[in-house]
């Protein structure tokens, strides 16, 4: 699976689909009343964790990793496997590896082909919360 988070493209997305937002309705009913009242509680969303792998030119590997870290606390649009999931809050990101590769070629999630020589593989762990 692949994904796009804001402007960051992930060639591999290891993890679950982002969690759905849960809406809760509390029914209030008193004995002797013919109708019940409904109280809508605020939407609740829980965090999702996943691991990403992205390929880029070797010269921009560490710059891309720094861009990941700089986005912590931002609200970003999420597209996962071609489906828009609205906005998410980026809680945390940990870059686990920036590896140098001799060559990397393929197609990014937005459909643009890439062919990097030399290349960098950036592996990171993400924690996001779906907002909408």
pLDDT, tens only, 18-60: 766 666 777 777 777 777 777 777 666 777 899 999 999 999 9
Q: Residue 16: pLDDT band by 50, 70, 90 thresholds?
A: confident
**pLDDT tens readout for residues 96-113:** 999 999 999 999 888 889
Q: Are 119 and 102 in contact (CB under 8 A)?
A: yes
Beta strands in the chain (DSSP E): 3-5, 8-10, 12-15, 22-28, 37-44, 47-57, 75-80, 83-101, 104-107, 113-116, 119-130
7: pLDDT strictly greater than 80:
yes
Q: Which of 1-5, 44-48, 128-132 has the lowest mean pLDDT?
A: 44-48
Tell me the C-alpha distance between 127 and 81, whole Å.
Answer: 18
Tell me the C-alpha distance between 3 and 63, whole Å.
Answer: 20
């Amino acid at each position: 699976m692949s994904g796009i988070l804001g402007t960051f493209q992930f060639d591999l997305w290891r993890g679950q689909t982002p969690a759905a937002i849960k809406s809760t309705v509390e029914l209030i009913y008193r004995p002797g009343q013919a109708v019940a009242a409904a109280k809508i509680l605020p939407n609740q969303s829980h965090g999702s964790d996943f691991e990403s792998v992205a390929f880029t030119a070797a010269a921009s590997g560490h710059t891309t990793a720094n861009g990941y870290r700089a986005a912590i606390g931002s609200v970003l649009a999420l597209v996962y496997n071609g489906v828009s999931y609205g906005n998410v809050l980026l809680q945390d990101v940990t870059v686990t590896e920036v590896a140098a590769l001799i060559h990397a070629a393929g197609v990014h999630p937005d459909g643009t082909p890439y062919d990097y020589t030399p290349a960098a593989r950036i592996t990171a762990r993400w924690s996001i919360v779906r907002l909408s």
